[in-house]
Amino acid sequence: MTTSPADRLTADHIYATGLRNQWHPVVPSRFVAPGAMRKVTVLGEQWLLFRRSDSTLSMLADRCPHRGAPLSLGKHLGDRVACWYHGLEIETDGTVSSVPGLPGCNLEGKKLVRSLPVREVGGAVLAYFGDDEHPEPAPLTLPEPLTDPDTDSFLCYAEWNGPWRYAVENLLDPMHGAFLHHESHTMFDGDTTAKFRIRETDRGYFFEKTDQRGVNFDWVELCRTGVDWVDLSIPYPPSAGPGGPFGIVGMVCPVDENRTGVFFWRYRKVEGWQRDSWRFLYRTLIEKRHWAVLEQDRVMLEAMPADADQRENLYQHDLGVVRLRRMYRAEAEAQAAAPAH
């Protein structure tokens, strides 16, 4: 598949639908059972997740190479999918294995459907979205809280109606915790005035309060390690038992210009009976309280006007957001301008 220069994505489109040449979360793994398939929209494009009964997962463009019918309307044949329209059979790597109406047809054996590299991490599907110049998956370093054996986590996934950037910007805006979440079980405490600073790291940057830590949502780290994610920590009240604060690893799936999938892993460094206690309380009582906090974010972000980021008066607390936007905007421009070979 080659793209002529005229087909190149514009910077505006990339900015609106998500950066290319990196990994993004797609949906929770449990959304595609063994032997099942699921249609998903990501970066404004239609895809098919296809899982064999041995649990191997693949991700194919949801478009039959014959006349373009959605493969997601087709039939799961165990190790391939058959298009409903004229029966073309597609293997999990995108190769046409059979054209039943015209055996021996020269489409057979050709890899005509785009397939994306996928990985499953902490209960979520991640996929690599390269453009024509960057088909090989970027190196992926996973968030340590999801790989450390002494850290335990639960994934919470939700779908919001709003641009993906607003969901990331919200995470780079710690100060909203002291206001929007003031009535919550975890963020009732801490100063409502603060000074922030940006601290660069080799994988992104911290945006943090200069004078308060461990009280509210006081810092956040943006990490770009092949996939974009944030790390932050929020104190629990004593009722949550031993183990200290809980952390959040957050990722965002750009679904299309106005829809976003959010992935929040709530994690805690706990072992043995302390781990068991947290997990029991989480399922029984705490998960619902975390959900109420997340709903406050959703209500606010979904109510933001479409031109919100064009008519602002920013102040010192918004430096983390400004830095983020500049970075994403510059990268969208660069991806749109890259020369076709």
Partner 1 sequence: MTTDWPYLDVHQSRTHEPTPYEYRLASALEEVFTHEGHELADIVRGLNARQVHSPDGAPWTERSFRDEINRLGA
Strand 115-116 relative to strand 75-76: parallel, antiparallel, unpaired?
unpaired
CA distances from 96 to 82, 99, 220, 224 (A): 10, 8, 46, 36
* Closest separation in Å from C-beta 181 to Fe ion: 6
* Closest separation in Å from C-beta 100 to partner 1: 28
Q: How far apart are CA 126 and CA 118, in angstroms?
A: 6
- Is 55 a binding residue for partner 1 by CB under 8 A? The answer is no
User: One symbol per residue from 34 to 73: x for binding ligand FES (CB under 6 A), - otherwise; what is it?
Assistant: ------------------------------x-xx-x----
Strand 115-116 relative to strand 124-129: parallel, antiparallel, unpaired?
unpaired
Strand 246-256 relative to strand 228-234: parallel, antiparallel, unpaired?
antiparallel
Residue with smaller CB distance to partner 1, 66 or 181: 181
Count of chain residues binding ligand FES (CB under 6 A)? 9
| Segment interacting with ligand FES (CB under 6 A) among 45-53, 86-94, 138-146, 237-245 | 86-94
- Is 185 a binding residue for partner 1 by CB under 8 A? The answer is no
- Is 297 a binding residue for Fe ion by CB under 5 A? The answer is yes
Q: How far apart are CA 300 and CA 144, in angstroms?
A: 30
**Cβ–Cβ contacts within 10 Å for residue 313, how many?**
5
- Is 75 a binding residue for partner 1 by CB under 8 A? The answer is no
- Helices and strands of the chain, counted as H and E runs: 7, 18
Q: Which does 281 bind (CB under 5 to 8 A by kind): partner 1, Fe ion, ligand FES, none?
A: partner 1
**Both tokens of residue 188?**
């009732």
Q: Are 126 and 140 in contact (CB under 8 A)?
A: yes
Q: Which residues bind ligand FES (CB under 6 A)?
A: 64, 66-67, 69, 83, 85-88
Q: Which residues bind partner 1 (CB under 8 A)?
A: 28, 30-33, 36, 38-39, 154-161, 237-242, 259, 273, 275-285, 287-288, 291, 298
